[in-house]
Amino acid sequence: MANIDRIVNVQISLNTNGVSKEGFSTMLVVGTHANTLNRVTTYTNINDLTNDGFSTDDPIYKAVSVAFSQIPRPRQVKVGRRQIEEVNISVNNIKDNTDYTVTISSKDNKGIITEQEYQFNSSTSATATTIVSGLQSAMTDDTVVTATVESENLKLVTKSNKAFSVKVSSNLSIELAEPTEEIADTMSAITASDSDFYGIVLASRDKDDIMAMAEWVETQTKLFGTSTAEQEAKDSETDTDLLSMLKAKNYYRTFAFYHELADSEYLEAGVMARCFAIEPGGETWANKVLSGLTADNLTETEYRAITNKNGNTFETSRNKSITQNGKVAGDEWIDVIRFRDWLQEEITVNVFNLLINSNKVPYTDAGIALIENQIRQALLLGQRRGGIAPTEYDEDNNENLGFSIEMPLAANISANTKAQRLLEDVKFTARLAGAIHVVEIAGSFTYENLINE
């Protein structure tokens, strides 16, 4: 029988493969912990952190809890682990004839996890020292950590900088030593594990850590938020506080709040979660009502000092507690930075998809128009999202475009440039829609008749 393919041969290619896009609504809380081995762990509710061993007074728990407290709440929050070298274990409930358990987990280069449990029974006449000494004896041959007894504590120190996690029975408690890992090294390891996040919250309130994170973020397409309780932040004559230092560096990817309870509350996590619930271009970071946070009572002089340093505040107005200002340290609106990053990614992916899913984009006016169409689609979406202004008209009905695109003509491009297969001089200009934060209204009373003209 003759094959029908001789006459009609149909081949259907799949041009449906898409390019992954960077997310602009995902938060990452970075902090030290020894609860999991992964550099990045994704949580969809606060109970999962408790199940992993986070206590309610852990800074990471507090930050994630504030994020999940907002309405609308984020679908997920990621936690990035800053590696620690030392953990101290103490006894919080001394009892005779009771089991005390320490479990050490580690991961090798192939991702294989090993778990080792050590147990000591306190027998009679138990003391904190005898309990931790008994556990230390059981852990003598552990390949991950070195265990030593210091007074009534069991100190675990990593061997060869190996990452490890620790779980203990309820009659023991864990205290983490100060981390020695630099912020840049932490973030390098985190992004190597999972780079799909945009907003960063740092659990540490150490000023050096904050400045190091701000420096790292400035080189990335990310956004970093922090808070400070420094009283100097409210003083216009002081320039050694965190707000002043961030402003002096002119950081465009870091925003900071003054918050009196910054050491125990993570205001930046709340506003980030609240605004990330809105698509880029559709939000402003000022005038946001937040849940689970304490508003500050500032004088007008203090407010001016903070905002003059490009800081932000959370204050009560009438019966509502709202954010004020909404700027990064470099004196730009936070929403503009986020929208710019989103638009850049949208255009990049649109054009890249065209190039990889086409047999060829010809170096002709028609081919250049295909590129223009991809840019236009991104800009139109930016308009629909509210970041780019729509086409508007003045009182004389003159058109004021929301955006314009300039594309070169193929005939005007040199042969040498065409030989390189490089399209240059592609430009667009877009009008930001902006946002109204303040309204000034002037009115008057009169006894005269008012005529509607």
Give the pLDDT score at 157: 96
Look up the pTM and report it: 0.91
Residue in the block written with tokens 């230390």? 136
pLDDT tens, residue order, the chain (453 aa)? 666 554 455 555 555 555 555 679 999 999 999 999 999 999 999 999 999 999 999 999 999 999 999 999 999 999 999 999 999 999 999 999 999 999 999 988 888 899 999 999 998 899 999 999 999 999 999 999 999 999 899 999 999 888 999 999 999 999 999 999 999 999 999 999 999 999 999 999 999 999 999 999 999 999 999 999 999 999 999 999 999 999 999 999 999 999 999 999 999 999 999 999 999 999 999 999 999 999 999 999 999 999 999 999 999 988 899 999 999 999 999 999 999 999 999 999 999 999 999 999 999 999 999 999 999 999 999 999 999 999 999 898 999 999 999 999 999 999 999 999 999 999 999 999 988 877 877 877 778 887 765
Give the pLDDT score at 318: 85
Write out the two tokens for 282: 């559709």
Distance CA(413)–CA(407), nearest Å, equals: 11
Distance CA(363)–CA(422), nearest Å, equals: 9
